[in-house]
Structure 1
Amino acid sequence: MAVSKLIDALRPSQGVRRNATHFGVTHVREYQSDRYTIVGNHLAQHRGLSATAVGIAVHILSLPEGARVDIRSLTEWFPEGRARIACALRELEERGYVERVRERLPSGRLITRTFAYHAPALTRARREAAPEAVDLPAPPTVPAPRPAPAVTAPPPPDLTVPDRSSSGDSPSAPAPEPAVAADAVRAGGPAGESGPPGAEHHDKAEALLAGLRRTDIRLTLSGREVRRLAPLVVAWFENGLGRASVIHALTDGLPLQVRNPAGFLRNRLLDLLPPALPPLAGADGTGPLPTRPAPPPPAMATCEGGCDRGFRAPFPGAWCRDCRTARPGEAPVAPVGIAALVRVS
């Protein structure tokens, strides 16, 4: 009876599948209808990652969209310290499982967006096969400036055939952009003076607006906003202002919070625009430029202080240096404008 009970105790459980070998791991799998994560063996069995990096990668893959995976949040979840978790994240970045991108919100705040790649090798192969495809989500990029529409010359008047079915406006006349035309009129000149994108000051104006974020991060503009504000900066350049003067006018005395950088800069460009400088006399050939009259050359004279020394006096009756030093209160005063121009010796 005792031997029979011992054999029953050593009998394996009927609910567990026996392994084909006598060593190693035996998997006990159960069907899971929800709350599970698919992890590839390329990550779970990666020979170049540490155990901490693999565990953090699996944890990140199991989180929902929008969950916080920064170092502070992971430190609160795991018992490892900040240095060890930061090292594990760097390992995952080097292997391509994690990508951290700095992104600026419309409010001007900088955030770090983390992209977790479930299969980096497959993603890399798909991008190389179709480089024109855009993954969603993707890091934000600055839109490239659109090419300017080609301006065609209107046909001769004798060959123009009016369209009687439409209104009285000529269909060949291009309509100006409402926003740019209104800004140019308020800036103090006609809309056509700002010129096309290839004008003299247009490229310099766009470069100035795009580089304002280097001076103050609150003045970051998009490509569309730079193109719309460029004619206003061109008006400053045409009125004789330099690049340093425009930057000082736009960045001096900024408020603590700039909610709409484009609107703020537009108001400053319109309200603080100085008038154009008047032409100098003689610049148009009507007369010579005004010059300051030259001082009369000093002539030889005799000191009137009593020493009868000969020296170059700037005005009649001047004293020499020794007499002025000996009797400072009695020396005559030089006429206005002469003492400042010529040094009495």
Structure 2
Amino acid sequence: MAAQQLSATQSTQSGIPTSGVRHVRHRHTERFTVVGNHLAQHRGLSLTAIGLGVHIQSLPDGARIGIKALAARFAEGEVVIARALRELEACGYLSRTKERTPGGRWVTRTVAYDDPSAVGTVPSSLQPPKPKPKPGRRRELAGPEPAASKPVLALPEPDHPDLARHRTATEILAGLRRDAPGLVLSERDVRRLAPAVSAWLERGVEPDAVRRTLTAALPQDPINHPGAFLAHRLTELLPPPLPAEPTARPVPRIVPLQNCDRCDHAFRAPEPGNCPACRLLPPS
């Protein structure tokens, strides 16, 4: 019994954890990727999004990371992969913008960021919080229990992208600071939010109405991250599509009244002539 207690004491003093995971480290000299813990231990991303983010960071420039290409590579379906891509985009690890080629075809341009906070692509409110160790207790190697994940906003997109509508959306976003000086957006925020504004315009909302909705009832305190603020409004206040206009019923044609040429009685007929009774009589 004393030997067991001595062994446990020596194990604690040597720094080897008595619970949780133990790592066997190996120094890689080729075929490796450096991934920040801000992604690997992100509190606001699902496990699928974290794994997909690590995979994307390991790929060379020019690799295809569309939904169908990733679904062909992994066992997860297109719905799960699309949701993970939206999470990475909302947290600043991906930027996806729609552009029109000179030939008139719409394509998606994707940029991956190893550390969004280093280039200012994500507000601090969406960055993973740093865990604070409890006083008087040594942190376990496995780290604290993960906190509940916060839902990540998925910005709306138009069902049928239109270049003219996209330009109008860009002008609305770039001009918001005229009505609300606190809503100064970067060019990247304008590109990221333009598809969401296009979705509003596609649903029949007039540009002035979109502008009023985004600038109405602003908080009195300074808005530290106007891009995130507007992304929340564009997502949460998205109006439903307009209902289809009812089909007009055909107006029945009214047959005019005619006076019989023979008996002078009134009857309905498209053309003047004899009434049905007089047509049965022999000619006079």
Whether TM exceeds 0.5 here: the answer is: no
Larger relative contact order (CA 8 Å, sep ≥ 6): 2
Q: What is the TM-score with the length of structure 1 in the denominator?
A: 0.31
Q: What is the TM-score with the length of structure 2 in the denominator?
A: 0.37
Of structures 1 and 2, the larger Rg is shown by: 1
